[in-house]
Structure formats: C-alpha cells, structure tokens
Amino acid sequence: MVDNGIQVIGTATTKIGAQKISQNLKKNGQGIILNIDDSIEMNHCIKNIYNKFGKIDILINNAGICHDKLLINMTTKDWTNVLMVNLNGVFHLSKSVLSSMIKNRYGRILTIGSIVGYTGNIGQTNYSASKSGLIGFHKSLALEVANYGITVNMIAPGLIKTDMTNTIDIKKYKKYISKIPMKRFGSTDDIAAAVLFFISDATSYITGQTLHINGGMYMN
C-alpha cells in the first residue's frame, strides 16, 4: 500500500511491534499501540489519527486471536476473549470511522476473515463463531452505507504461511495439504494483492462480498 502512495497507520499490541511497523513504513506512515479489546482506547486512538491526518479513507480490520479448545473444555474466558477481539473489535473500529466516511461520501472497509467462518473446525467453536459473525455484520453494514460511496467487503484466507502455521507438525501439514487442490499453503503476498484490489477505485461497485483465497480448499 505504501508503494501506492497511501499513508498507512499500522497497529500493534506492544511498543516493540509498533516500532517495527514505523521502521518498515518510514515516512509513509507509522505504527501505534492499540488493544482491540479496549473500546475506550480504540476511540481515543481513532480521534488522534483524525487530529493528525484529518480523515480515514480506508479501514482494514486484520487483528485476530484464537484460544483453541474443544467446547467441552472451553472456558467462558476463552469464548469471550476471542469474540471480544475478532468480532467486537471490528464493530468498534468500523463504527468509529463511519461518520467521517459518510460525510466524505467515500470509504473502504475491509476485514480479514477466515475459511473457518464457513467450514467450521474442530476445537475452534469460538473462533468459527467470531468469523461467521463477521459475515452477517459486513453484509448488513454494506447495505446501510452503500448509498454513501462506502464499500464493505471481506477476505477469507485459507491456510497461509505465517508464524502461526509454521508451528504445524508434519502430520497435520500433510493432512491439510491433502485437502487443498493446489497442494500448497498460500502466501501473505496473495492476501496483500487482494487487499490492494478491494481498496482501489476499481472496486467501487463491489460491496457486501467475500473473496475466498484458499487454493480451492473451499468453494462458495
């Protein structure tokens, strides 16, 4: 996005994470600390961004956590924490930018969901519920703001090479690969390309949609 002339504000939960984002963005943006599970902090953060930059044209919801357990072993905290970040966080951040986008009659709201929101997964009832909830949220919000030049879409990745998937043992890896027609995990570049597509003016007539990027593992 930086290469496309967009001023980027990236968020992290730690000071070190925010510093790394700032170093990568250099003069084209900055990293800031933001805890998605704290609505008061989120509102304060958004106000600071408006004060510094004047407006927010694009919101990309990319924060997410998981606390995987079979439901019979899952605690209320395991359930609540995942929904607080993955679903409630998207609600608070999306709501915080809407007034300005409506006033400007332009906006792009894009959320990174998950294939699990459509397929479910053993040990992820909380995670699946949070990602499934995003589907209805985005369809409804898309209808509410379509007349103001605001698009609301989702990307649902399958298995992507990240620090999280790098810890998968060989047995699980082979099991997952057997379910992917392309016989490989996706890359973060695959997701980044889709993000650039959705936030561009080329998608001004696309809203309320989910783009599945999973190598054929799930076809809607």
Residues marked as catalytic: 127
Alpha helices, DSSP H, located in the chain: 15-25, 39-53, 76-83, 89-104, 116-119, 125-145, 170-178, 188-198
**CA atoms of 91 and 95, how far apart (whole Å):** 6
Backbone angles phi, psi at 111, to 5 degrees: -125, 140
Nearest to 143 by CA among 109, 96, 103, 111: 109
Q: Any idea which residue has 């509102």 for tokens?
A: 43
**CA atoms of 154 and 138, how far apart (whole Å):** 8
Nearest to 112 by CA among 181, 186, 42, 39: 186
Taking the alpha carbons at both ends of the chain, their separation in whole angstroms is 28
Residue 40 corresponds to which amino acid?
I
- Counting every residue written for the chain, the total comes to 220
Q: Cβ(168)–Cβ(162) under 8 Å? A: no
Residue 102 corresponds to which amino acid?
I
